[in-house]
Chain A
């Protein structure tokens, strides 16, 4: 940027290119993606003991077991509020130290709203199936995806999409899509791996460990990328 005034033939194009470069630099300086992922990874790991000890299991003589993951309902709403508050504080403090404002508030509001909306949807689904007979035969695949979407790991992914949009962060968008594919389509977040390879509680914990590790690796990756910036 220089203090000279206007036109050469290609000047407007050059000016717009300069402005885009400035905008990009500001956006990079506003990001604390690694901190958001780290906080969510910690929240995911901290959930495991709550789920483990809060799991109600009633195994029937025919070999089938009834499960209720009560620990999650006690843990996640509070954990989410605390996590989004921590993320907001990290973003605001870092942006302030760098000399810029922050764009994180819509993300935090979305996260806070999701702590109400998603558990409510989850409880509604649970209550529905408690009072209605489960249809004969295998359940449709979309049911499992919907069930996983309204679980905490699904809602972490949905709110990360909001963060990617706010930050215009393509790398975070790609990471989030991969994370969502993992927790919605690959990992049995709702029923766990279960016997014979794992016990019921361990089977529930393993997908959570994997989701936490993925978030943690994402945090480390974004942190490393940030440190490489000149």
Chain B
């Protein structure tokens, strides 16, 4: 787990300190979200939805695979090669945690905004 920004204030740790750099990166967060919702997703579908080049998507998939968040399965359908991606249990947990922290962050920003107005 790598923090992308320092904590601020006192008391409970700022939600930003819990953000995982591997997961928090936008494209990778998009990959995890799509894969979670789709159960199983094909490389070409991810590339289209995220508007990425094949090379760029491959790099992000490698990062997620090395972190143990996704599994990549290569196979054939007829003569056509296809790559399918599924989320690991660790990937599901990481995505859930990330979304939870983003929501906390929003709540925190809103709370501090209201306090500043008062």
A contacts, CB < 8 Å to B: 1-7, 9, 12-13, 15-16, 18-19, 22-23, 25-27, 29-30, 98-103
Count how many chain B residues have C-beta atoms less than 8 Å from C-beta atoms of the other chain. 32
Residues of B near A18 (CB, < 8 A) are 26, 30
Closest 4 CB pairs of A and B: A101-B39, A99-B45, A99-B42, A101-B40
Q: Say if the beta carbon of B10 comes within 8 Å of chain A.
A: no
Contacting pair A19 B24 (CB below 8 A): no
Q: Secondary structure of the B side of the interface?
A: helix
**A29 to B16 alpha-carbon distance, docked (Å):** 33
| A88 smallest CB distance to B (angstroms) | 14
**A3 to B26 alpha-carbon distance, docked (Å):** 6
| A94 smallest CB distance to B (angstroms) | 13
Q: What number of A-B contacts does a CB cutoff of 8 Å give?
A: 80
Given A7-B5, A12-B102, A16-B106: A1 touches B30 (CB 8 Å cut-off): yes
Mask of B82-118 contacts with A, CB within 8 angstroms, 1/0: 0000000000000000010011011001000000000
Contacting pair B49 A12 (CB below 8 A): no
Residues of A near B39 (CB, < 8 A) are 100-103
Residues of A near B25 (CB, < 8 A) are 3, 5
